[in-house]
A and B are shown apart, each in its own frame.
Chain A
Amino acid sequence: MTNNILVFIEQRESKILPASFQLLALAEQLASETGGEVQACIVGQSIAGLADTSASYGAKKTYVVDGEEFAYYRASPYATALSAVIDKADPKAVLISTTFMGRDLASRVAARKKAALAIDCTQLKLEGGDLIATKTMYAGKFSATFRLSGSQLQVATVRSNVFAAKEPQSGVTATVENVAVTLGEGDGRLKVKEVVASSSGIKDVTEGDVVVSGGRSLKSEENFKILFQLAEVLDGAVGASRAACDAGYQPHTRQVGLTGKVVTPKLYIACGIDGAIQLLAGMRGSKVIVAINTKKEAPIFKVATYGCVADLFAIVPLLTEEITRLKG
Chain B
Amino acid sequence: MRILTIVKQVPDSNATIKVKPDESGIDSAGLKLVPDPFDEFGIELAVQLREKRGDVEEIVALTVGPDKAAEALRVALAMGADKGMHLNDGAFDLTNELLLASIVAQAIKRDEAGFDLLLCGKYNIDLDSGAFGPALAEYLDIPHVGAVTGLDVSEDGKSFEARRRIEGAEEVVECGLPALLTIEKGLVEPRYPSLPNLMKAKKKPVDVLTSAELQTDESLQVATQFQSVAPPAPKPDCKFVEGEPEDMVKELVRLLREEAKVV
- Cβ of B215 to closest chain A Cβ, rounded Å: 14
Instruction: Please count the residue pairs between chain A and chain B whose beta carbons lie under 8 angstroms apart in the complex.
Output: 274
Bound-complex Cα distance A310 to B223 (A) = 51
A318 within 8 A of B: yes
B175 adjacent to A189 (CB under 8 Å):
yes
A111 within 8 A of B: yes
From B172, B185, B220, B233, A193 is in contact (CB under 8 Å) with B172
From B102, B222, B225, B260, A288 is in contact (CB under 8 Å) with B260
Number of interface residues of B (CB under 8 A): 86
From A111, A139, A146, A303, B125 is in contact (CB under 8 Å) with A139
A94 within 8 A of B: no
- Given A139-B125, A145-B227, A147-B227: A12 touches B168 (CB 8 Å cut-off): yes
Number of interface residues of A (CB under 8 A): 96
- Cβ of B221 to closest chain A Cβ, rounded Å: 10
B225 adjacent to A306 (CB under 8 Å):
no
B138 adjacent to A302 (CB under 8 Å):
no
Inter-chain contacts of B175 with A (CB < 8 A): 189-191
Inter-chain contacts of B233 with A (CB < 8 A): 143
26 A-B residue pairs with CB within 8 Å? A74-B173, A75-B143, A100-B167, A103-B130, A108-B144, A110-B135, A112-B138, A114-B220, A138-B229, A140-B128, A142-B19, A144-B229, A148-B223, A191-B174, A192-B174, A204-B165, A253-B165, A258-B13, A258-B37, A267-B263, A278-B14, A305-B238, A310-B245, A315-B245, A322-B249, A326-B253
Interface residues of A (CB under 8 A from B): 12, 17, 72-76, 79, 99-101, 103-104, 106-108, 110-112, 114-120, 132, 135-149, 151-152, 186, 189-198, 203-204, 206-207, 210, 234, 251-253, 255, 258-260, 262, 266-267, 277-278, 281, 287-288, 290-291, 301-311, 314-315, 318-319, 322-323, 326
Interface residues of B (CB under 8 A from A): 11, 13-14, 17, 19, 26, 37-38, 95, 97-98, 101-102, 123, 125-135, 137-139, 141-147, 149, 161, 164-176, 179, 185-186, 219-220, 222-233, 235-236, 238-241, 245-246, 248-250, 252-253, 255-257, 260, 262-263
